[in-house]
Amino acid sequence: MTEIFQRFGKPLGGCFVVLVLLWLAGMVLVPGIFMINSSLRPHLPPPLRGGDQDVYLFDNFAYLINHSNHGQIFLKTVWSSALVTMATLLLCYPVAYWLAQVASKWQMRVMLVLMLVPYLMNEVLRGLAWYIILALAGPLNAGLMALGLLDEPVRWYGDGGVVAGMAYAYVLFMLFPICNAIATLEKDQISAARDLGSSAWRIHWRIVLPHAKVGVATGCVFVFMMAAGSYVAPALLGAPGSRWFTQIVYEWFFEIGNWNRGAAYGVALMAMCLSVVLGLLALFRVNLTSAIK
Protein backbone atom coordinates (compact mmCIF):
# COMPACT_ATOMS: atom_id res chain seq x y z
CA MET A 1 0.00 0.00 0.00
CA THR A 2 2.88 2.38 0.70
CA GLU A 3 3.97 1.88 -2.88
CA ILE A 4 1.00 3.78 -4.18
CA PHE A 5 1.96 6.84 -2.11
CA GLN A 6 5.59 6.56 -3.11
CA ARG A 7 4.67 6.30 -6.73
CA PHE A 8 2.05 9.02 -6.96
CA GLY A 9 2.73 11.16 -3.95
CA LYS A 10 0.37 11.74 -1.05
CA PRO A 11 -2.29 13.87 -2.76
CA LEU A 12 -2.73 11.82 -5.91
CA GLY A 13 -2.12 8.45 -4.23
CA GLY A 14 -4.58 9.42 -1.51
CA CYS A 15 -7.09 10.36 -4.18
CA PHE A 16 -6.75 6.94 -5.77
CA VAL A 17 -7.14 5.09 -2.50
CA VAL A 18 -10.19 7.13 -1.53
CA LEU A 19 -11.84 6.53 -4.92
CA VAL A 20 -11.22 2.80 -4.70
CA LEU A 21 -12.50 2.63 -1.14
CA LEU A 22 -15.62 4.60 -2.10
CA TRP A 23 -16.22 2.12 -4.88
CA LEU A 24 -15.51 -1.13 -3.09
CA ALA A 25 -16.99 -0.16 0.25
CA GLY A 26 -19.65 2.33 -0.73
CA MET A 27 -20.89 0.77 -3.94
CA VAL A 28 -20.22 -2.94 -3.52
CA LEU A 29 -19.64 -4.18 0.02
CA VAL A 30 -21.89 -1.99 2.16
CA PRO A 31 -24.89 -2.23 -0.19
CA GLY A 32 -24.33 -5.97 -0.27
CA ILE A 33 -24.32 -6.14 3.50
CA PHE A 34 -27.46 -4.00 3.57
CA MET A 35 -29.13 -6.44 1.23
CA ILE A 36 -28.21 -9.40 3.40
CA ASN A 37 -29.36 -7.47 6.47
CA SER A 38 -32.73 -6.73 4.88
CA SER A 39 -33.10 -10.30 3.76
CA LEU A 40 -32.86 -11.49 7.35
CA ARG A 41 -35.48 -9.11 8.71
CA PRO A 42 -39.26 -9.40 8.41
CA HIS A 43 -41.28 -7.06 6.26
CA LEU A 44 -43.02 -4.68 8.63
CA PRO A 45 -45.10 -1.54 8.20
CA PRO A 46 -43.03 1.60 8.93
CA PRO A 47 -44.27 2.21 12.52
CA LEU A 48 -43.18 -1.24 13.64
CA ARG A 49 -39.68 -1.01 12.16
CA GLY A 50 -37.02 -1.12 14.81
CA GLY A 51 -39.54 -2.51 17.32
CA ASP A 52 -39.67 -5.86 19.13
CA GLN A 53 -40.76 -7.65 16.00
CA ASP A 54 -37.87 -6.33 13.94
CA VAL A 55 -35.47 -9.16 14.70
CA TYR A 56 -33.21 -11.34 12.64
CA LEU A 57 -35.08 -14.31 11.24
CA PHE A 58 -34.57 -16.90 8.60
CA ASP A 59 -38.22 -16.59 7.56
CA ASN A 60 -37.68 -15.07 4.14
CA PHE A 61 -35.41 -17.90 3.08
CA ALA A 62 -37.70 -20.49 4.64
CA TYR A 63 -40.50 -19.01 2.57
CA LEU A 64 -38.53 -19.56 -0.60
CA ILE A 65 -37.80 -23.17 0.31
CA ASN A 66 -41.31 -24.01 1.47
CA HIS A 67 -43.22 -22.19 -1.25
CA SER A 68 -45.18 -24.48 -3.55
CA ASN A 69 -43.26 -23.54 -6.69
CA HIS A 70 -40.70 -20.80 -5.97
CA GLY A 71 -38.07 -23.39 -5.03
CA GLN A 72 -38.87 -25.28 -8.17
CA ILE A 73 -38.54 -22.13 -10.27
CA PHE A 74 -35.21 -21.45 -8.60
CA LEU A 75 -33.98 -24.90 -9.58
CA LYS A 76 -35.37 -24.46 -13.07
CA THR A 77 -33.37 -21.23 -13.38
CA VAL A 78 -30.20 -23.00 -12.30
CA TRP A 79 -30.82 -25.92 -14.62
CA SER A 80 -31.74 -23.75 -17.60
CA SER A 81 -28.70 -21.54 -17.08
CA ALA A 82 -26.54 -24.66 -17.07
CA LEU A 83 -28.27 -25.76 -20.25
CA VAL A 84 -27.62 -22.39 -21.90
CA THR A 85 -23.99 -22.63 -20.81
CA MET A 86 -23.56 -26.11 -22.25
CA ALA A 87 -25.37 -25.23 -25.47
CA THR A 88 -23.27 -22.12 -26.09
CA LEU A 89 -20.08 -24.05 -25.27
CA LEU A 90 -20.86 -26.80 -27.79
CA LEU A 91 -21.99 -24.28 -30.36
CA CYS A 92 -18.91 -22.09 -29.98
CA TYR A 93 -16.06 -24.52 -29.64
CA PRO A 94 -15.79 -25.49 -33.33
CA VAL A 95 -16.11 -21.89 -34.44
CA ALA A 96 -13.58 -20.70 -31.88
CA TYR A 97 -11.14 -23.37 -32.98
CA TRP A 98 -11.63 -22.52 -36.62
CA LEU A 99 -11.17 -18.80 -35.97
CA ALA A 100 -8.10 -19.22 -33.81
CA GLN A 101 -6.22 -21.93 -35.67
CA VAL A 102 -7.57 -22.50 -39.17
CA ALA A 103 -8.88 -19.21 -40.51
CA SER A 104 -6.62 -16.95 -42.55
CA LYS A 105 -6.09 -13.43 -41.32
CA TRP A 106 -8.52 -12.14 -43.86
CA GLN A 107 -11.23 -14.68 -42.94
CA MET A 108 -10.78 -13.84 -39.30
CA ARG A 109 -11.21 -10.13 -39.98
CA VAL A 110 -14.45 -10.69 -41.89
CA MET A 111 -15.80 -12.97 -39.17
CA LEU A 112 -14.95 -10.51 -36.42
CA VAL A 113 -16.69 -7.69 -38.27
CA LEU A 114 -19.76 -9.89 -38.80
CA MET A 115 -19.84 -10.76 -35.11
CA LEU A 116 -19.28 -7.26 -33.86
CA VAL A 117 -22.79 -6.05 -34.51
CA PRO A 118 -24.63 -8.80 -32.64
CA TYR A 119 -22.02 -8.51 -29.87
CA LEU A 120 -22.45 -4.78 -29.37
CA MET A 121 -26.22 -4.90 -29.87
CA ASN A 122 -28.55 -4.20 -27.04
CA GLU A 123 -29.63 -7.26 -25.08
CA VAL A 124 -33.22 -6.07 -25.18
CA LEU A 125 -33.15 -5.74 -28.96
CA ARG A 126 -31.58 -9.17 -29.29
CA GLY A 127 -34.44 -10.52 -27.20
CA LEU A 128 -36.88 -8.57 -29.30
CA ALA A 129 -35.56 -10.19 -32.48
CA TRP A 130 -36.40 -13.60 -31.05
CA TYR A 131 -39.73 -12.30 -29.82
CA ILE A 132 -40.58 -11.53 -33.44
CA ILE A 133 -39.20 -14.83 -34.77
CA LEU A 134 -41.01 -16.99 -32.25
CA ALA A 135 -44.35 -15.20 -32.46
CA LEU A 136 -47.35 -17.39 -33.20
CA ALA A 137 -47.74 -15.76 -36.60
CA GLY A 138 -44.00 -15.17 -36.86
CA PRO A 139 -41.47 -16.23 -39.48
CA LEU A 140 -40.43 -19.46 -37.72
CA ASN A 141 -43.92 -20.91 -37.71
CA ALA A 142 -44.58 -19.57 -41.18
CA GLY A 143 -41.39 -21.11 -42.52
CA LEU A 144 -41.91 -24.49 -40.89
CA MET A 145 -45.49 -24.63 -42.14
CA ALA A 146 -44.44 -23.67 -45.64
CA LEU A 147 -41.96 -26.54 -45.55
CA GLY A 148 -44.74 -28.83 -44.44
CA LEU A 149 -43.03 -29.65 -41.16
CA LEU A 150 -45.85 -28.19 -39.12
CA ASP A 151 -49.57 -28.41 -39.66
CA GLU A 152 -50.46 -25.64 -37.28
CA PRO A 153 -48.41 -22.92 -35.58
CA VAL A 154 -46.61 -23.83 -32.36
CA ARG A 155 -46.48 -21.61 -29.26
CA TRP A 156 -42.71 -21.16 -28.90
CA TYR A 157 -42.90 -18.64 -26.04
CA GLY A 158 -42.12 -20.29 -22.73
CA ASP A 159 -39.10 -22.03 -21.24
CA GLY A 160 -37.83 -23.23 -24.62
CA GLY A 161 -38.06 -19.75 -26.08
CA VAL A 162 -36.27 -18.27 -23.07
CA VAL A 163 -33.40 -20.73 -23.38
CA ALA A 164 -33.11 -20.07 -27.12
CA GLY A 165 -33.12 -16.31 -26.60
CA MET A 166 -30.49 -16.56 -23.86
CA ALA A 167 -28.26 -18.82 -25.93
CA TYR A 168 -28.48 -16.28 -28.71
CA ALA A 169 -27.84 -13.34 -26.42
CA TYR A 170 -24.77 -14.81 -24.69
CA VAL A 171 -23.17 -16.97 -27.37
CA LEU A 172 -20.43 -14.48 -28.16
CA PHE A 173 -19.46 -14.14 -24.50
CA MET A 174 -18.53 -17.80 -24.79
CA LEU A 175 -16.90 -17.54 -28.20
CA PHE A 176 -14.40 -14.75 -27.58
CA PRO A 177 -12.68 -16.10 -24.43
CA ILE A 178 -12.32 -19.58 -25.94
CA CYS A 179 -11.07 -18.14 -29.20
CA ASN A 180 -8.48 -16.02 -27.38
CA ALA A 181 -7.29 -19.04 -25.42
CA ILE A 182 -6.99 -21.31 -28.43
CA ALA A 183 -5.17 -18.59 -30.37
CA THR A 184 -2.23 -18.87 -27.96
CA LEU A 185 -1.79 -22.57 -28.78
CA GLU A 186 1.12 -23.11 -31.12
CA LYS A 187 0.13 -24.70 -34.40
CA ASP A 188 3.19 -26.95 -34.13
CA GLN A 189 1.71 -28.72 -31.14
CA ILE A 190 -1.30 -29.76 -33.18
CA SER A 191 0.91 -30.80 -36.11
CA ALA A 192 3.12 -32.79 -33.75
CA ALA A 193 0.14 -34.61 -32.29
CA ARG A 194 -1.23 -35.33 -35.75
CA ASP A 195 2.20 -36.52 -36.79
CA LEU A 196 2.24 -38.93 -33.87
CA GLY A 197 -0.98 -40.42 -35.19
CA SER A 198 -3.57 -38.82 -32.93
CA SER A 199 -7.10 -38.74 -34.22
CA ALA A 200 -8.87 -35.40 -34.55
CA TRP A 201 -10.99 -36.14 -31.47
CA ARG A 202 -7.96 -37.03 -29.45
CA ILE A 203 -6.13 -33.85 -30.49
CA HIS A 204 -9.04 -31.74 -29.30
CA TRP A 205 -9.58 -33.67 -26.11
CA ARG A 206 -5.95 -34.00 -25.06
CA ILE A 207 -4.29 -30.88 -26.47
CA VAL A 208 -6.61 -28.06 -27.53
CA LEU A 209 -9.18 -28.28 -24.73
CA PRO A 210 -6.66 -28.49 -21.87
CA HIS A 211 -4.85 -25.52 -23.35
CA ALA A 212 -8.08 -23.56 -23.70
CA LYS A 213 -9.47 -24.40 -20.29
CA VAL A 214 -8.96 -20.90 -18.95
CA GLY A 215 -11.00 -19.52 -21.82
CA VAL A 216 -13.65 -22.19 -21.44
CA ALA A 217 -13.89 -21.48 -17.70
CA THR A 218 -14.19 -17.74 -18.31
CA GLY A 219 -16.86 -18.22 -20.94
CA CYS A 220 -18.84 -20.64 -18.78
CA VAL A 221 -18.66 -18.39 -15.72
CA PHE A 222 -19.93 -15.37 -17.60
CA VAL A 223 -22.64 -17.11 -19.58
CA PHE A 224 -23.99 -18.92 -16.54
CA MET A 225 -23.99 -15.78 -14.44
CA MET A 226 -25.71 -13.71 -17.10
CA ALA A 227 -28.29 -16.38 -17.85
CA ALA A 228 -29.17 -16.87 -14.20
CA GLY A 229 -29.51 -13.13 -13.67
CA SER A 230 -31.30 -12.29 -16.89
CA TYR A 231 -34.61 -10.54 -16.68
CA VAL A 232 -35.00 -9.55 -20.32
CA ALA A 233 -35.26 -12.98 -21.93
CA PRO A 234 -37.95 -14.35 -19.61
CA ALA A 235 -39.83 -11.06 -19.70
CA LEU A 236 -39.95 -11.06 -23.50
CA LEU A 237 -39.92 -14.72 -24.40
CA GLY A 238 -41.55 -16.38 -21.40
CA ALA A 239 -45.16 -17.40 -21.26
CA PRO A 240 -47.62 -16.59 -18.45
CA GLY A 241 -47.22 -20.12 -17.16
CA SER A 242 -43.45 -20.18 -17.22
CA ARG A 243 -42.16 -17.75 -14.67
CA TRP A 244 -38.48 -17.17 -14.06
CA PHE A 245 -36.75 -16.54 -10.75
CA THR A 246 -35.68 -13.03 -11.67
CA GLN A 247 -39.30 -12.21 -12.41
CA ILE A 248 -40.32 -13.33 -8.93
CA VAL A 249 -37.64 -11.10 -7.43
CA TYR A 250 -39.00 -8.19 -9.44
CA GLU A 251 -42.53 -8.95 -8.25
CA TRP A 252 -41.49 -8.90 -4.59
CA PHE A 253 -40.03 -5.47 -5.11
CA PHE A 254 -42.38 -3.65 -7.40
CA GLU A 255 -45.68 -5.53 -7.42
CA ILE A 256 -46.02 -6.94 -3.92
CA GLY A 257 -43.73 -4.45 -2.20
CA ASN A 258 -42.10 -6.88 0.21
CA TRP A 259 -38.52 -5.71 -0.19
CA ASN A 260 -37.17 -7.89 2.56
CA ARG A 261 -38.37 -11.02 0.88
CA GLY A 262 -37.16 -9.71 -2.46
CA ALA A 263 -33.74 -9.11 -0.89
CA ALA A 264 -33.72 -12.68 0.41
CA TYR A 265 -34.49 -13.97 -3.06
CA GLY A 266 -31.71 -11.78 -4.45
CA VAL A 267 -29.29 -13.11 -1.84
CA ALA A 268 -30.24 -16.67 -2.79
CA LEU A 269 -29.58 -15.88 -6.45
CA MET A 270 -26.25 -14.27 -5.65
CA ALA A 271 -25.15 -17.14 -3.40
CA MET A 272 -26.06 -19.64 -6.07
CA CYS A 273 -24.17 -17.73 -8.76
CA LEU A 274 -21.06 -17.25 -6.66
CA SER A 275 -20.98 -20.91 -5.65
CA VAL A 276 -21.40 -22.01 -9.26
CA VAL A 277 -18.63 -19.61 -10.32
CA LEU A 278 -16.27 -20.91 -7.64
CA GLY A 279 -17.31 -24.48 -8.40
CA LEU A 280 -16.59 -24.03 -12.10
CA LEU A 281 -13.21 -22.50 -11.38
CA ALA A 282 -12.36 -25.39 -9.06
CA LEU A 283 -13.61 -27.90 -11.63
CA PHE A 284 -11.36 -26.43 -14.30
CA ARG A 285 -8.56 -25.91 -11.78
CA VAL A 286 -8.33 -22.28 -12.81
CA ASN A 287 -7.84 -19.39 -10.43
CA LEU A 288 -9.70 -16.13 -10.63
CA THR A 289 -6.65 -14.12 -11.67
CA SER A 290 -6.02 -16.14 -14.78
CA ALA A 291 -9.71 -16.58 -15.58
CA ILE A 292 -10.59 -12.92 -15.94
CA LYS A 293 -8.20 -10.92 -17.96
Partner 1 sequence: MTKATMAASAKIMMPSFSKAGLLAGLRSLAARFYLLAFIGFLLGPLLILGLAAFNDSSFPTVSPWQGSTLKWIVALFQDGEIGRALVSSGIIAAGVILVSLPVGVAAAFVLTSLHGRARSFAYALMVSPMLIPGIVIGISTLLFWRKLGVNGGYFLTILAQSSFIISFVMLMVVAQLQRFDRTMEDAALGLGASQLLVFRRILLPYLRPALLAACCLAFLQSFENYNTTLFVRGTETPLTVFIATKVRTGLTPVINALGLVLMASTILGAVLWEFWLRRRGRVAKTA
Per CB under 8 A, contacts with partner 1 among 154-193 are 168, 171-172
In this structure, what is the dihedral angle of CA atoms 225, 246, 236, 92, given to the nearest 10 degrees?
10
CB of residue 117 vs partner 1: minimum separation in angstroms?
A: 6
Please tell me the distance from the alpha carbon of residue 93 to that of residue 213, in angstroms, as a whole number.
11
CB of residue 248 vs partner 1: minimum separation in angstroms?
A: 11
Q: Which residues in the 45-104 window bind partner 1 by CB under 8 A?
A: 91, 94-95, 98, 102
List helix spans (H) across the chain: 2-21, 30-39, 59-66, 70-97, 105-120, 123-133, 139-146, 159-183, 187-195, 200-203, 209-211, 213-228, 232-237, 245-251, 259-283, 288-291
* Choices 24-32, 63-71, 155-163, 180-188 (CB under 8 A): range interacting with partner 1: 24-32
Residue 144 near partner 1 by CB under 8 A: no
Residue of the chain from 100, 133, 216, 223 that contacts partner 1 (CB under 8 A): 133
Q: Which residues in the 214-243 window bind partner 1 by CB under 8 A?
A: 221-222, 225-226, 228-232, 235-236
Environment class of 110 (CB within 10 Å of its CB; exposed 0-12, middle 13-18, buried 19+): exposed
Residue of the chain from 82, 86, 128, 150 that contacts partner 1 (CB under 8 A): 128
Asked if 280 and 291 count as a contact pair (C-beta separation under 8 A), the reply is no
Q: Which residues in the 244-273 window bind partner 1 by CB under 8 A?
A: 246, 249-250, 253, 259, 262-263, 266-267, 269-270, 273
